[in-house]
A and B are shown apart, each in its own frame.
Chain A
């Protein structure tokens, strides 16, 4: 049986096949993105670094940046802490029907619009919402807590949206882990703790790396959940960009912020690629 890519297309054939998509992406994606930099260097029609200076001198903006990074780091950590055991649990289920069903439960939220899931959290977090009512009924609190428009709600909402994206890569790697290695370690006398530390966890690192990178990058640039659950008090970078564009019409300034975010994203991807080596994960 001859698998996969043994048949080679000629250079011309390959280029012909790729070119429509390449053209589309270059004109309507690459060029506009690259255009952000020159757009951000203009102020009143003259070349100027004013927007970048403005961002770092007005105290509000670096605060938003730090808040964004802080929330993204927390979201990533929580997703990892919750997601790794869940991925382990999923990879361990023998009955493939149940495993398939539970896997579908993890993947299903991804197909439900982020918007829909986020405002479900609005309903849950409302003052008369079910969470407050529960907490009051077990006498943990006396008055309803105001969850909405605070960082905590944004955190929970983002964890909910991004958790499946942490689980899936880790699950995929754990599932394909060579069990014989565990057996060998056991035979050599290792106990659970060492088996995990020395074998299971290191071998799952490509999945962990992919999950962490994915979640962190998406969290940094997230718009919908922070906008709905956080409001203007818990503003993050993406909502700031939107605010500058649609409320204040500061196009050039927004371009500067957008370019910085884009640059950060690219740098993180490259860094992660160097550290974890994402090519290994490519056999999706």
Chain B
């Protein structure tokens, strides 16, 4: 495909004319449909009322005060963050290792293994949660940090595999070969050349991991036991008993995290474009 074959389909003869306006209106409505429910919790968290209302009425920080001081919120928040952090670390290590083997190895069953590693996305989480509960109960992993981390690793590793294998497919191996020529051994090459070069991919994958672990409700519901709970469980139980704006405050954590993701990814892309043009 030549460079000139990119660009608008409409430039190459697929004319829409007035249809363009209709499409634009439709798209605007769709974007509103997608965005508004996603960020609603942010304005709702500032409401002065004692119930959730949109649009919010009044302005008050009292719910922020409540959430940030009440143990019923702060403990789950910290627990969720800890789980997410450790899960991300573990998943990145295991996932990157496996991605390297999947892209650069050549062994029978590679394709099946690839699908197997990615399958947790497609299997309904409630099935996984329910099935895993049995073995966790036998191994006394219910309610433990280790148990949660392992379960979340399984949930998050598909993202890491998908992203890092994509990164590795585009990787310029001659850089590694150059390093070997200078005398670096395989391990040094890995540390000083390979990993820094796929760093954007690792960061992206790490972000996906972190968010997915933070968001998880179902695995946590089954595997976390009764003593400690995670943030999504807290939000969910609040929804069932007493919906007060504290839920909106806790939810803004997710929204802020999502915005941070988009910003970091945009920043990374710009950096990558800069690095690419330096070579020219």
Partners in one complex: yes
Q: Mark B126-151, 1 if CB is under 8 A from A, else 0.
A: 11101110110000000000000011
Q: Mark B10-36, 1 if CB is under 8 A from A, else 0.
A: 111111100000011011001101111
| Chain A interface residues toward B at CB < 8 A | 1-11, 13-15, 17-18, 20-22, 24-25, 27-33, 35-36, 39, 82, 85-86, 88-92, 94, 100, 102, 104-109, 111-117, 119-124, 128-130, 160, 163-164, 174, 176-180, 182-183, 185-187, 192, 195-196, 200, 214, 217-218, 220-224, 228, 238, 241-242, 245, 254-255, 258, 261-262, 265, 269, 283-284
Say whether B38 faces chain A, with CB atoms less than 8 Å apart: yes
Q: Which residues of B contact A90 (CB under 8 A)?
A: 27
Say whether B37 faces chain A, with CB atoms less than 8 Å apart: yes
Contact assessment for A32 and B131 in the assembled complex, using a CB-CB cutoff below 8 Å:
yes
A260 CB → nearest B CB, Å? 10
Say whether B63 faces chain A, with CB atoms less than 8 Å apart: no
Q: Which residues of A contact B150 (CB under 8 A)?
A: 24, 28
B263, closest chain A residue (CB):
A104
B94 contact from A20, A102, A177, A195, Cβ within 8 A: A20
A283 CB → nearest B CB, Å? 7
What DSSP secondary structure best describes chain B's contact surface? helix
Q: Which residues of A contact B33 (CB under 8 A)?
A: 160
B35 contact from A105, A115, A217, Cβ within 8 A: A105
Say whether B59 faces chain A, with CB atoms less than 8 Å apart: no
Contact assessment for A220 and B174 in the assembled complex, using a CB-CB cutoff below 8 Å:
no
B54 contact from A86, A111, A130, A195, Cβ within 8 A: A130
A112-B258 contact, Cβ under 8 Å, with A120-B37, A224-B218: yes
Contact assessment for A104 and B131 in the assembled complex, using a CB-CB cutoff below 8 Å:
no
Number of interface residues of B (CB under 8 A): 102
Contact assessment for A28 and B257 in the assembled complex, using a CB-CB cutoff below 8 Å:
no
Contact assessment for B116 and A25 in the assembled complex, using a CB-CB cutoff below 8 Å:
yes
Q: List 10 A-B contacts (CB under 8 A).
A: A14-B105, A18-B101, A28-B135, A105-B34, A111-B262, A112-B255, A117-B38, A180-B4, A200-B9, A228-B239
Task: List 5 tightest A-B contacts by C-beta distance, closest first.
Answer: A221-B124, A14-B105, A186-B13, A111-B258, A32-B131
Contact assessment for B266 and A7 in the assembled complex, using a CB-CB cutoff below 8 Å:
no
A218 CB → nearest B CB, Å? 8
A106, closest chain B residue (CB):
B34
Q: Which residues of A contact B269 (CB under 8 A)?
A: 100
A116-B254 contact, Cβ under 8 Å, with A17-B98, A21-B117, A186-B13: yes
In the assembled complex, the Cα of A220 lies from the Cα of B124 at a distance in Å of 8
A5-B134 contact, Cβ under 8 Å, with A20-B94, A117-B37: no
A262 contact from B103, B107, B127, B258, Cβ within 8 A: B127
Contact assessment for A4 and B54 in the assembled complex, using a CB-CB cutoff below 8 Å:
no
Q: Which residues of B contact A100 (CB under 8 A)?
A: 266, 269
Contact assessment for B14 and A160 in the assembled complex, using a CB-CB cutoff below 8 Å:
no
In the assembled complex, the Cα of A227 lies from the Cα of B9 at a distance in Å of 42
Say whether B203 faces chain A, with CB atoms less than 8 Å apart: no
In the assembled complex, the Cα of A185 lies from the Cα of B15 at a distance in Å of 13
Q: Which residues of A contact B16 (CB under 8 A)?
A: 192
Contact assessment for A25 and B154 in the assembled complex, using a CB-CB cutoff below 8 Å:
yes
Q: Which residues of A contact B174 (CB under 8 A)?
A: 1-2
B107 contact from A14, A109, A254, Cβ within 8 A: A14
